[in-house]
Amino acid sequence: MSILLFLSQAIVPLVIFYIVGFGILQKRPVLDDFLDGAKKGMKTVASIMPTLVGLMTAVGVLRASGLLDFLCGLLEKPARWLHIPASIIPVSLVRLVSNAAATSLVLDIFQSAGPDSLEGMIASILMSSTETVFYCLSVYFGAARIFKTRYALAGAMAATAAGIVASILLGTGAV
């Protein structure tokens, strides 16, 4: 275990020294390249900032307005029929938009039911097998200025649905 701790602490400085050393060997202006990259990164951040603010506002409105509770109430009966714990429904809905909000819901599940409970296992697997679909599509396509996404949303939603089903099957031990 100590070798893993050593490697995890040493890998970042080693990568930095490797990149700088490689740049020097290639006779590149390393500092100028770094500054140019930082400028481009700041421009990218500035261009996607409105999208990020809009998404965070949407998550706040979704939670504060009661719409999330309403949707969970609608989906609770079919979820109970499928033997899906009710606490998983808000996690799967919020995960589509925000990782941070979904993580806070998972932490609530951990505090109330425990991480080794059925709900905790399903939520943990769900978080690792699904993606923040709307966040990724809006940020990445927005940054690249792509407006015709074709089948990206449908494919991402299908993959997320497969991740949700897999997390339920794996978490319940049905597989």
Q: Within a domain: residue 3?
A: no
**What is the value of pTM for the model shown?**
0.70
Query: Over 90: is that where the pLDDT of 18 sits?
Result: yes
Q: How high is the pLDDT of residue 149?
A: 86
64/149 Cα distance (integer angstroms): 30
Q: Within a domain: residue 63?
A: yes
Q: Are 132 and 151 in contact (CB under 8 A)?
A: no
Q: Within a domain: residue 149?
A: yes
User: Which residues, in sequence order, are CB contacts of 5 under 8 Å at separation 6+?
Assistant: none
What is the SS3 assignment for 117?
coil
Length of the chain measured in residues: 175
Q: Within a domain: residue 67?
A: yes
pLDDT for 82-133, tens place per residue? 888 999 999 999 899 888 889 989 999 999 999 999 999 999 999 999 998 9
Q: Within a domain: residue 13?
A: no
User: Looking at residues 2-12, what average pLDDT do you find?
Assistant: 88
Report how far apart the first and last C-alpha atoms of the chain are (Å, whole number): 31
Q: Within a domain: residue 4?
A: no
- Calculate the alpha carbon distances from 28 to 24, 25, 65 in Å: 6, 8, 54
| Structural domains of the chain, count | 1
Residue range of the domain that includes 102: 48-172
Q: Within a domain: residue 119?
A: yes
Query: Over 90: is that where the pLDDT of 159 sits?
Result: yes
168/162 Cα distance (integer angstroms): 10
98/136 Cα distance (integer angstroms): 10
Whose CA is closest to 122, among 74, 164, 153?
164
Evaluated on CA atoms 135, 139, 142, 144, the torsion sign reads negative
pLDDT category at 160 given cuts 50, 70, 90 is: very high
Q: Within a domain: residue 8?
A: no
